Amino acid sequence: MTLDFYYMATSAPCRSVMLTAKAVGVELNLKELDLIAGEQMKPEFIAINPQHCVPTLVDDDFALWESRPICSYLVNRYGEDDSH
């Protein structure tokens, strides 16, 4: 399973999502956006995320943005419960 992840390399919230994905064993298809050049304003990205911000995660037809909800989603959906 590979999820599309739109990010900016210098963003701490983006890095927190990347670390969470690695911890739960999810491979991210990294798609870096150049915010200075305005790539987040392209129509194809706004169709995914009308708030045009990073980080943005796309899992099949489900898109989510903002790091904390993305991290929670990754843990709840892909994390394993090893408390047994």
Catalytic residues: 11
* 8 DSSP 8-state letter: -
Identify the burial level of 35 via C-beta atoms within 10 angstroms of its C-beta, where 0-12 means exposed, 13-18 middle and 19 or more buried: middle
Calculate Rg over the CA atoms of the chain: 13
* Residue 34 neighbours by CB distance under 10 Å: 10
d(CA 33, CA 79): 27
